[in-house]
Amino acid sequence: MSVETATDGDRFEAALENLEVPVTATDPATFDSTLESIVDQPVVGTPLPFERVSLPDWVDDEPTPATLETAATGVTAASFAIADYGSVVLPSTPEGAEQVSLFCDLHVPVVRASDIVPDMPSAIERLGPMLRDGASAIIATGPSATADMGALVKGAHGPKDVHVVVLEDDEALERDETGEHDE
């Protein structure tokens, strides 16, 4: 299968594999159990803006500075993902998504399969109106890293590990059946 015919989802997964970032696909029905198999407890999160999916009740979804400090995992929604780079785009929200995605040793971004865009120009197309509307976002690619201490170390100030969850929503499933994908 050539690169041209691979879907954005396939290419996103391949890019993450290159980055050695694990990725798990799930759907609304199995989301809770999938998440449970990925996270380290305790877990904080910010509400997911997706229909039919919300954080399980064992996730503290009203984090405070104190719970953030002790949490091992942070779960947040990604606005979208960029297939070419294996990047997730993380919004800054009043609920503290920026902090939850940054302070814990493990960050689990949740992205809808239909929100995977192919490349950087498509990403910027989405970001332009968002930023002009006053929003902020982080294009995050893999864990925090530094080579300043003489060798590459993961987890410099941010997460040591990232585990991406791709949520196959109905729209995406429908698209798969008809063989279409985002261009």
Partner 1 sequence: MSKTDRETKADHIRHLLETEGPAVEANTMGFNQGRYDSVADLEDYEELKDEARTIKEGAIERLPELIDAVTETVEENGGTVYLAEDAADANRYIREVASENDAERLVKSKSMTSEELEVNEALEREGVDVVETDLGEWVLQVADEAPSHIVAPAIHKSREEIARLFNSQFDPGEPLETAEELTMFARERLGEQIAEADIGMTGANFITADSGSLMLVTSEGNARKTAVVPDTHIAVAGVEKIVPTVEDLAPFIELIGRSGTGQDITSYVSLLTPPVDSPIVDPDDPETPFADREDDREFHLVLIDNGRMTMREDDQLRETLYCIRCSACANTCANFQSVGGHAFGGETYTGGIATGWEAGVHGYDSAAEFNDLCTGCSRCVEACPVKIDIPWINTVVRDRLNRGGEASRFDFLYDELVPDEEATGAIDRQKRLFGNYETLAKLGSATAPVSNLIGGLGPVRSLAERFVGIDSRRPLPTFQRETLVDWFDARGPNVAAADADREVVLYPDTYTNYVDVDRGKAAVRVLEALSVHVQIPSVPGSGRAPLSQGMIDTADAKASRVYAALAEHIDAGRDIVVIEPSDLAMFRNEYEKLLPERSFERLRNSSYEVLEYVYGCLENGADPAALRTDGPPIAYHAHCQQRTLGLDRYTRAVFDDLGYDVLESDVECCGMAGSFGYKSQYYELSMDVGDRLAEQFSTSEARDRLVVASGTSCGDQLEDLLAREASHPVEALDPNSPLAR
Which residues contact partner 1 by CB under 8 A?
62-66, 68-69, 85, 87, 92-99, 102, 120-121, 124-125, 127-128, 131-132, 134-153, 155-159
Closest separation in Å from C-beta 60 to partner 1: 9
Closest separation in Å from C-beta 118 to partner 1: 13
> How distant, in Å, are the alpha carbons of 15, 36, 95, 110 from that of 42?
29, 11, 18, 18
Comparison of 19 and 28: residue with beta carbon closer to partner 1: 19
Residues 35, 57 contacting (CB under 8 angstroms): no
CA-to-CA distance for 78 and 39, rounded, in angstroms? 17
Closest separation in Å from C-beta 166 to partner 1: 19
Comparison of 121 and 179: residue with beta carbon closer to partner 1: 121
Closest separation in Å from C-beta 131 to partner 1: 4
Comparison of 26 and 87: residue with beta carbon closer to partner 1: 87
CA-to-CA distance for 153 and 8, rounded, in angstroms? 30
Comparison of 25 and 127: residue with beta carbon closer to partner 1: 127
Cis peptide before 143 (omega within 30 of 0): no
Closest separation in Å from C-beta 96 to partner 1: 3
11 phi, psi to nearest 5 deg: -70, -35
CA-to-CA distance for 54 and 31, rounded, in angstroms? 9
Comparison of 138 and 172: residue with beta carbon closer to partner 1: 138
Say if strands 43-45 and 23-26 run parallel, antiparallel, or are unpaired: unpaired
